[in-house]
Amino acid sequence: MSSDIKIITELPRDEYTEIIYDDICFGQPINAMDPEDVTKGINRAIELDEQSGFLEGVSERLRQLGIDCTPGDTEIMLAEIRRRYKEILGFPCPRTVQEWIKGTTPGFTNRRNNYDLCYALGMDFRQTVEFFQKKYLTLPFIVKSKEDAVFMYCLYHKKPYSKVMELLERSEGFAAQADTHTSTSQIAQSILKEDDDEKFLRYLSQHCYGKEQQFRLAKSIINRELETTHKYIIRDRPCKASTPDRLNSFTIEELLGYNYQTIDKKSADRKLPKRFTSSLPNDVTLGRIVNGEAVSYELLRKTLMLLKFYNFYHDADNKDPMMIGSNLMDFYDELNASLASCGFAQIYECHPFDCLLLYCANSELPIETLHLVSERN
């Protein structure tokens, strides 16, 4: 069981992922003033974005299931996936998943779509773990999420999809609980060792969050971080503080280094990975978060990460080269703790956004480096 818990966190590294971990994210500190250093990180993140191989993964799995197809045979793949959704899952394939097959980059606004596709493709526990990490570029089974926990329990204990539906439906009525501090590894261990539906549901009701509670907790962290960011803005840029109605816009400028309304979107020589640029916050979406309105998982996660990054490195002393690595690891641990506390996916270095954020952190001027990266948007 211990090996099963470990593989959820991280697949064995190959030669390519060693470069991501040991060179790009945690290698020698970079020089933000050196264009080659900034370009190196961006290019590596673009490679990650382009080499995720989602369609290759789907076609490979379908070939294992006896369907002769290549990554370019989208009509063949669509027909088979539609059939499997109806036959195995009992409902039509969602438009979002169909768009993935047609070439749209898979997202995580609704993580259930990601799990459902793995079930429709007949994947087991380990195959699902690998598909998430290698094809979706994120970690699976964020077990403080009730939805993730149900899929983990059912896949690990080889339950049919009908059991997934039953457990998800029964868990809908669970009352929001006091915020739990149980470690994710402890929750995972409990789920993997217990093959009893009723005991699992009792544990689920006591230790895991529904989506509403997850999002509420993430928004509360974001609002706390915003208070700190606003204090920095008021202290460092009092002229901006005199126009509070534009504080959200100024906050985005502080986080990303640009006013998104003035970006030259037609510039052909500026390119960042789509997984980096999608769901970045702007002043409008930041206002929705502050006002408690409905927003996507990806927007909340990236906003939380950017605010933690800015606030951590605003006063961190990175001028001493000996402190860069130490600060990076402190930031890494602090950010992961915040993500885990609300049941969001922790840092995954092979995701282009996470990779570039850590790349910027590994410099003498992390915030300025992120601004230089963002200028490419």
Mark whether 222 and 361 lie in a shared domain. yes
Mark whether 206 and 217 lie in a shared domain. no
User: What average pLDDT values come out for the chain (377 residues) when binned by 10 residues?
Assistant: 50 58 77 82 86 90 96 96 97 97 90 97 95 91 92 96 96 71 80 92 89 92 95 81 75 83 48 90 94 94 98 89 90 94 90 93 93 80
Quote the domain boundaries for residue 281. Answer: 213-374
Which tokens sit at 347?
A: 């840092």
Question: Is residue 14 a part of any domain in this protein?
Answer: no
pLDDT of residue 218: 95
Cβ(144)–Cβ(343) below 8 Å: yes
Total number of domains in the chain: 2
Question: Is residue 40 a part of any domain in this protein?
Answer: no
Mark whether 232 and 179 lie in a shared domain. no
Instruction: Give, in order, the Cα–Cα distances in Å from 95 to each of 52, 54, 69, 151.
Output: 21, 17, 21, 21
Question: Is residue 43 a part of any domain in this protein?
Answer: no
Cβ(114)–Cβ(132) below 8 Å: yes
Mark whether 194 and 218 lie in a shared domain. no
Mark whether 289 and 187 lie in a shared domain. no
Query: Cα separation of 101 and 103, whole Å?
Result: 5
Mark whether 314 and 355 lie in a shared domain. yes
Mark whether 194 and 274 lie in a shared domain. no
Mark whether 264 and 308 lie in a shared domain. yes
Helix, strand, coil in percent for the chain, rounding step 5: 65, 0, 35
Mark whether 173 and 217 lie in a shared domain. no
Of 332, 336, 323, nearest in space to 365 by CA: 323
Question: Is residue 233 a part of any domain in this protein?
Answer: yes
pLDDT of residue 268: 39
Question: Is residue 41 a part of any domain in this protein?
Answer: no
Cβ(352)–Cβ(45) below 8 Å: yes
pLDDT of residue 34: 80
Query: Pick from 210, 231, 254: which residue ends a domain?
Result: 210
Mark whether 274 and 352 lie in a shared domain. yes
Question: Is residue 292 a part of any domain in this protein?
Answer: yes
Which residues have C-beta within 8 Å of that of residue 46, sequence separation ≥ 6?
271, 272, 273, 352
Query: Cα separation of 94 and 85, whole Å?
Result: 9
Mark whether 172 and 222 lie in a shared domain. no
pLDDT of residue 269: 44
Question: Is residue 313 a part of any domain in this protein?
Answer: yes
Question: Is residue 226 a part of any domain in this protein?
Answer: yes
Query: Pick from 163, 186, 210: which residue ends a domain?
Result: 210
Query: Pick from 184, 210, 236: which residue ends a domain?
Result: 210
DSSP tag of 312: H
Query: Cα separation of 48 and 349, whole Å?
Result: 10
pLDDT of residue 47: 85
Mark whether 145 and 245 lie in a shared domain. no
